[in-house]
Structure 1
Amino acid sequence: MQVNVQRVAGVQTTVYPILIAISVGHLLNDSMQAVIPALFPILETSMNLSYTQIGWIAFTLNMTSSVMQPVVGFFTDRTPSPYFLPLGMASSLLGMIGLAFAPHFFFVLLSVLFVGFGSAIFHPEGSRVVYFAAGTRRGFAQSIYQVGGNTGNALAPLFTALIFVPFGQKGAVWFTMIAALGIVLLFRVSRWYSLRLKEYGTMQKQGKSGKSGVKNHRNIMFALTLLIFVVFARSWYSAGISNYYQFYLMKHYHVPIQEAQVYLFVFMIAGAIGTFVGGPLADRFGKRNLMLFSTLGTAPFSLMLPYLPLVWVLPVVFLAGFILSLSFSTFVVYAQELLPGNVGMASGLIVGLAFGMGALGAVVLGKIADLYNLNILMILCSFLPLFGALTWWLPKEKSSASQ
């Protein structure tokens, strides 16, 4: 039966309309996630929040989605559920309504839970749609999918400057329309996905022989653990920049809130560009090679960033975001090849659990900022990409894929 899954995902032609549709759905889903960090400067002022409380909001969002993603993926690997896609978007819609009218900190946390659940429900099934539609261009297809999510996240600074500064937290109401659009779009994708499942059978049946590599179980677990640890480190760095660098710019360089969003937007949009470029590079030069270059190659720029004059910050922030994100989709594809019979769970472990561990980083980093200062925080964060050197010990693709 493992031959079938290779035939389904490897021999068929790439279905570009579905890849573009699920990428747009990913953009809409992650745009609503981006609303939450976009609200941080507003909530800090209106609710008088500490950096630690801001960290707890980020923790609630990311831990909800990160812990739940592999759980949802494990379930849907055995019982694929195409209509989880619009269901996840509906959960995020409820979260947007709650955020718009949240009267205090704990109601914000409750609203964020709905957004986190929506993301956890969406991502595993979204990754499986990409797996079906990818054809032979696995890295490129994953890049198309992930660039939608990265672009959605990159919009957070623009949301702050253009929506939440003038309208306050009630500006979140506008995002209910984005959620409604997403529900319609993903319902159509779900119909295509449902037909594919009927045609080829469930992923459970296709992937049962994915356990044929049990004899190399220790190698698989070592590679997967190392992979998650490296992603964990890069997630902490991203959490430091995404959640706190705007405050560092305002306090260290004395730039206004709107201008601080420009620097953050450049970092995040560079990440979206890097994600798109990285997939084809991984297909050509090898996944492990790209992961090593991407993570370790970010270190020179991250290490110099806290010491730069303001005029050099923008180009260095762009290069750091671009290089760091070259391997974003590659981590997911590599994990899927380690666990070929558990595509949803593999995606959940990387996109959800490992990347979502930035949530824990947000709390720890927020506590560091409260106990010491933002300058110490940025210096500590600058060393995190050095953990990319561990990627050297990952098995090469032929070894991992054969397992």
Structure 2
Amino acid sequence: MPRARRTAAVLAVVLAAAACTGGGDEDGPLPRSGPDGGPALQGVVDLDAAVEGDVRLFDLAADPGGDPVALLGDGTRGWLVGVGPGDDGPAATALLEVPAVGDDAELTVLPDGSFLIAGTDPTTGYQLLTVPPDGPPTVTALGQRPDRATTALSPDGRTLYAALTLLAPGPAQLLAVDLAAGVVRTTAPVVPAGTVTALTPRPDGTLAALVETGDGRALLAGYDEKLRPVGEPLDLAPDAPVGVPADLDVTTDGTVVASLYVSAGRETGRLVTVVDGEVTGSVELEGVGDSALDVLVSPDGGSALVPQADLLFPAELVVIDLVSGERAAAVSLCGGAGVLGDVAPVGRDGGLVVTGSCIDGDGPQATAFLIG
């Protein structure tokens, strides 16, 4: 999934453990152990302790067969750390040490269990570092030095799509990389012109992308497997003074749920649902200036989970009912304000992980909060 802004110096992780009450419904949207039938905070773990140092959290990746994996670094080296429920609450376990990563680093877990780190190396430029479960790592250099980048893995795990906004004058580029061969298979300009902030595959094999245009509009665009434009771009907030796209998720039936900022100061956001190229729902989100507005749709497609945070608002995970547009539940993540980032699911059980950093007297810390 795309990574919007990461403004915290050190990010925390919020873990929502898999636990639905009654009936064993594996397609349920949330854990439901709270007194109101919603999720509830269960415990805390320090991520820094997993690598015995002060670290920055660069990215968080879902592992379809297990617990999410965090990419951490201290400027000189990096680590992959698994985050999940342990015997006595949430646990963070160091899996591998990796070379230092850049600010744009993104992590993907491949179907065979390999870890793929995409990012800009000071010497070689934008590259893909693949670390298999057993065997030596490999590097695929793409020969670009982007100002901004976002990636998405094809459903079969064979192709990595990358959208690169280049420093030099010229259009942003879409790349399709054959991971087995280690070569760029297709390159095309981003149409319409702009910066791609989020990229994700659709069930039919095409790509959905959020594009921020030069005149401040947030567009939903589509591309086929050869990176050719599909359909007409859709303005997600034509009535708003500005539109800054953040993130998107796609349901199994192809419905797109996108998040964006719709005010100049980014304190106001919007969650937009798109079906067959038309906006079918829109929900305003107040107090999101310190949230990356990452969005994750529940397995049943009925709810969207979005982290909300701003200086004068609580830092919390909010559940939006996509049918009614109502706020169905919220989980407080910090005692006061905070900065919140990514959301990722925990295995197939319906739990999730949110990244962020609480603002308190102890300073920002990489922390994991168990919700069940």
Query: What is the TM-score normalised by the length of structure 2?
Result: 0.25
What is the TM-score when the length of structure 1 is the normalising length?
Answer: 0.23
Comparing both structures, which one devotes a greater share of its residues to strand?
2
Give 1 or 2 for the bigger CA radius of gyration. 1
Give the structure with the larger helix fraction: 1
